[in-house]
Amino acid sequence: MEKRVVITGMGAITPIGNNLEETWEGIKNKKCGIDEITLEDVTDYKTKMAGEVKNYNPEDYFERKEAKRMARCTQFAVISAREALKNSGITKENTDFNRIGLFISSGIGGLDVIQEQTGNYYNKGHKRISPLFIPMGITNMPAGNVSIDLGVKGESVSLVSACASSTHAIGEAYKNIKQGYEDAIIAGGTEAAICALGISGFENMKALSSSTDKNRASIPFDKERNGFVMGEGGCMVVLEELEHAKKRGAKIYAEVIGFGSTTDAYHITSPDPEGEGAANAMRRALQDANLKPEDIDYINAHGTSTHLNDSTETLAIKKVFGDYAKKVKISSTKGNTGHLLGATGAAEVIFCVEAINEQIVPPTINYKVKDEECDLDITPNEVVSAKVDVAMSNSLGFGGHNATIIIKKF
Q: Which residues are catalytic?
A: 163, 302, 339
Beta-carbon-side half-sphere exposure of residue 55 (alpha carbons within 13 Å)? 6
Task: Identify the burial level of 82 via C-beta atoms within 10 angstroms of its C-beta, where 0-12 means exposed, 13-18 middle and 19 or more buried.
Answer: middle
SS3 202: helix
- Number of other CB atoms surrounding residue 278 within 10 Å: 30
Quote the CA–CA distance of 349 and 236 in Å, as a whole number. Answer: 9
Contact 407, 253 (CB under 8 A): no
Quote the CA–CA distance of 48 and 245 in Å, as a whole number. Answer: 45
Q: What is the dihedral of CA 170, 52, 111, 77, to 10 degrees?
A: -40
Contact 122, 275 (CB under 8 A): no
**What letter does residue 128 receive in the DSSP assignment?**
G
Quote the CA–CA distance of 94 and 90 in Å, as a whole number. Answer: 6
Contact 391, 297 (CB under 8 A): yes
Quote the CA–CA distance of 370 and 361 in Å, as a whole number. Answer: 20
Beta bridge partners of 157: 103
Host H or E run for residue 241 = strand 233-241
Contact 24, 60 (CB under 8 A): no
Nearest Cα to Cα of residue 104 among 347, 353, 342: 342
Strands lying side by side in the sheet with 254-263: 156-157, 100-105, 184-191, 233-241, 5-13, 254-263, 401-408, 390-397, 298-300, 329-331
Beta bridge partners of 184: 100, 240
Quote the CA–CA distance of 387 and 319 in Å, as a whole number. Answer: 23
